[in-house]
Amino acid sequence: MAQVCVDASLVVAWFLPEEFSDKAFALKERWVVEGVELVAPAMLASEVPSALRQAVYRGRILPDEGDEAFATFLEMPIRTIQPESLLSRAWEIGKAVNAPRLYDAFYIALADIEDCELWTADRRLINLVRARFPHVHWLGETA
Query: Which domains does the chain possess?
Result: 3-138 (3.40.50.1010)
Residue 97 near residue 79 (C-beta atoms within 8 A): no
Q: What does the pLDDT look like over 13-58, one tens digit per residue?
A: 999 988 889 999 999 999 999 999 999 999 999 999 999 999 999 9
Q: What does the pLDDT look like over 120-131, one tens digit per residue?
A: 999 999 888 888
The 10 Å Cβ neighbour count of residue 72 is 12
Rounded-to-integer distance, Cα 100 and Cα 14, Å: 27
Radius of gyration of the chain (CA): 15
Residue 17 C-alpha from the chain's centroid: 16
Q: What does the pLDDT look like over 72-126, one tens digit per residue?
A: 999 999 999 999 999 999 999 999 999 999 999 999 999 999 999 999 999 999 8
Residue 72 C-alpha from the chain's centroid: 16
Residue 4 C-alpha from the chain's centroid: 10
pLDDT at 94: 96
Rounded-to-integer distance, Cα 112 and Cα 29, Å: 24
pLDDT at 143: 63
Which pLDDT band holds residue 142 (cuts at 50, 70, 90)? confident
Query: Distances in Å between the alpha carbon of 141 and those of 1, 27, 86, 136?
Result: 24, 11, 27, 11
Predicted TM-score of the model (pTM): 0.92
Q: E strands, 12-116, where? A: 37-41, 78-81
